[in-house]
Structure 1
Amino acid sequence: MKTVHVCTAIIHKGDAILACKRSDNHMNGWEFPGGKVEPHEKPEQTCLREIKEELNVELGPMFYYDTVEYDYPDFHLHMDVFISQLTADQTPLPRVHSELRWLSRNELMDVKWLAADTELVRGLGVMWEQLFWAEHL
């Protein structure tokens, strides 16, 4: 089975994280923004590039959070996950997504996440205070 290596950013702002709705033909659901790692590119570089391309914003310092391994019917997903915030007062623009939404901890399961993201989101709910306290970011 083909492996697809992607990177994604959990973007935190105030008491919420950014969720993005995909609307392409083969996958329809909510995800964290990011994309495929290019040859000779480090995961952190991928994350910064993809967020700029997809949302027209720049990220501040990032820290590695997790790696998700998930088997879709057509491919194996290897997803490196980072946590970050936006720099300055930026507003994400949905360039490749049909909708963006800031979700609080209590709203995390209000949207239908893509399969690979579901366990990741549940973990965020459990670890919310440890991950998003101000001094940590």
Structure 2
Amino acid sequence: MNHYKVVAAVIEHNGEVLCVQKGESKFDYLRYKYEFPGGKIEPGELEQDALLREIEEELDLQITVTHKIAVVNHQYPDFMVTLTAFLCLTSTRELKLTEHINANWLPKEHLKTLNWVGADQPIVERLQHL
């Protein structure tokens, strides 16, 4: 079974967090769910460099990475991920969706109202206490 190392950005702006919605997926358990943006770490790439690259590719958004907030190991039915999440800041809400179908900015206390991918659920829980 494949094991992927991935990074995710918990992007804050004016007290709200960016949540992006996945579109179609070959896996039902990922289809139309929400996630924190990010992606796979390329061979030889540092976590923060991967994060900056992925956010630029997926959202055309400039962020500042502040610090690591969680590492989650999650087993999906078809693969496993080790997800490292970083708290990030941005000076704008203007973004361009290239891989997602929707984006919402929500206060931390409203994050639980969305249907999240499995690996991101522990991060949503953690944010309730930060």
Cα distance, 1:105 vs structure 2: 2.2
Alignment match, 1:70: 74
Structure 2 residue runs without a partner (length 5+): none
Q: Does the alignment pair 1:50 with 2:54? A: yes
Alignment match, 1:30: 34
Q: TM-score, normalised by structure 1?
A: 0.87
Distance in 2, Cα, partners of 1:32 & 1:74: 20
Per-residue CA deviation, residues 80-131 of structure 1 (Å, 9 max, x unaligned), is 1111111x4351221110000001123111110011111210110122xxxx
Alpha-carbon contact 2:65-2:86 (below 8 Å) kept: no
Q: Does the alignment pair 1:19 with 2:22? A: no
Structure with greater proportional helix content: 1
Alpha-carbon contact 2:74-2:80 (below 8 Å) kept: yes
CA RMSD of aligned residues (A): 1.2
Q: Runs in 1 of length 4+ with deviation above 4 angstroms?
A: none
Cα distance, 1:13 vs structure 2: 0.7
- Give the aligned residue type for 2:56: K
Q: What percentage of aligned pairs have identical amino acids?
A: 29
Alignment match, 2:118: 115
Structure 1 residue runs without a partner (length 5+): 128-137
